[in-house]
């Protein structure tokens, strides 16, 4: 789902109380806050949804496919999402395998 469709879905639920511009600002503020907290504290827990956290990935050596030149990639942090048990159960109950 793209951002525009997310804004539309939320606008449908809240009707005329909020404009699409207000909802876009809210989504931007929400995502900015998550990024800021991740950078500062390295973990954001949203009950009933899941946990966003940063995990440290060790540096490694890599090779460019075309030139064959070898590089050393430094240590870095990567975002990781772990869904809650409630979210996993809800998905399992609503979506049945074919």
Domain positions in the chain: 3-94
Q: Does residue 82 contact residue 53 with C-beta atoms inside 8 Å?
A: yes
For position 96, what pLDDT does the model report? Answer: 79
Strand pairing partners for 45?
A: 51
3-94: CATH topology: HU Protein; Chain A (4.10.520)
Q: Tell me the pLDDT of the chain averaged across its residues.
A: 94
Tens-digit pLDDT profile for residues 18-39:
999 999 999 999 999 999 999 9
Name the DSSP class of 10: H
pLDDT at position 97 is 77
Q: What is the pTM of this model?
A: 0.77
CA distance 43 to 27: 19
Identify whether the C-beta of residue 24 lies closer than 8 Å to the C-beta of residue 18.
no
């Amino acid at each position: 789902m793209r951002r525009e469709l997310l804004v539309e879905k939320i606008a449908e639920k809240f009707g005329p109380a909020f404009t699409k511009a207000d909802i876009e600002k809210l989504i931007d503020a929400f995502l900015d806050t998550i990024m800021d907290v991740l950078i500062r504290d390295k973990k954001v827990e949203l009950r009933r949804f899941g946990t966003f956290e940063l995990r440290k990935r060790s540096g490694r050596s890599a090779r460019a496919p075309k030139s064959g030149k070898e590089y050393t990639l430094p240590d870095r942090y990567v975002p990781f999402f772990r869904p809650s048990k409630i979210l996993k159960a809800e998905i399992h109950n609503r979506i049945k395998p074919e």
